[in-house]
Amino acid sequence: MSEKPSKKILDIGIGKGGEYIKRDPKSVLRIGLDFRMSALSNKENDIPLVRADASGEVKLPFESNAFDHIDILFPQDELLIGLCKSNFLWKQLRRLLKEKGDMTIITERPWAGQTLVIANKRYTIIEEPQNKIMALGQENGFLIDKLILEEPEVREYGTHFAKLFADDEPGITTVYKLQARKNIPHSP
């Protein structure tokens, strides 16, 4: 891309990506960030990829006010725990967003007692993560709206987890879209 991008998106926990990436206009620069090496070997979507830990323990490797938008789609394990518990991670997200920047977090609420195992890997289940994410985000200067997504909307993302949760029996998993935007001004 030779021209300056019209919009910069940071895709945290990108994993293998999904169909949603292909819908980006050519003028958008999407940068994928993931801790796992398997995600970084994914060349399918032809976007820049960065290996970094977004669990909320270390500073993310980007300049302040670098992004118009941040996507966090179906966070799992350390990233989900960070979103639910780490003020440091939320301060990093706030630092990375431009003044009128916004963020989309898509998360699921499994039914009580559900254990998620995919490819012999056990994933961390946090009850009501959307409420914990909303509370911590608001504490850190974000305005957050919560929407419940219907199965076709979930499927549109085209990620591994989107397909998994869209295929659940009705009532097993509820998928939430949390739309967050910086609440200016905010004192740290």
Q: Is the pLDDT of residue 185 over 80?
A: no
> Is 165 part of any domain?
yes
Q: Is the pLDDT of residue 7 over 80?
A: yes
Is residue 112 very low, low, confident or very high in pLDDT (cuts 50, 70, 90)?
very low
> Is 2 part of any domain?
no
Domain containing residue 177 = 7-182
Q: Is the pLDDT of residue 1 over 50?
A: no
Mean pLDDT of 157-180: 72
> Is 113 part of any domain?
yes
Domain count for the chain, please give it.
1
> Is 155 part of any domain?
yes
CATH number at residue 45: 3.40.50.150
Mapped to the 3 state alphabet, what secondary structure does the chain carry?
CCCCCCEEEEEECCCCCCHHHHCCCCCEEEEEEECCHHHHCCCCCCCCEEECCCCCCCCCCCCCCCEEEEEEECCCHHHHHHHHHCHHHHHHHHHHEEEEEEEEEEEEEECCCCCEEECCEEECCCCCHHHHHHHHHHHCCEEEEEEEECHHHHHHCCCHHHHHHHCCCCCCEEEEEEEEEECCCCCC
Q: Is the pLDDT of residue 116 over 60?
A: no
Task: Give pLDDT tens digits for 60-103.
Answer: 999 999 999 999 988 877 788 888 888 999 999 999 999 889 99
> Is 144 part of any domain?
yes
> Is 187 part of any domain?
no
Give this prediction's pTM.
0.82
Task: Give pLDDT tens digits for 43-63.
Answer: 566 788 888 888 777 889 999
> Is 188 part of any domain?
no
Task: Tell which wins on pLDDT, 164 or 68.
Answer: 68
Quick one: what percent of the chain has pLDDT higher than 90?
A: 23
> Is 26 part of any domain?
yes
Mean pLDDT of 114-127: 57
Q: Say which residues have a Cβ less than 8 Å from residue 77's Cβ, sequence separation at least 6.
A: 123, 124
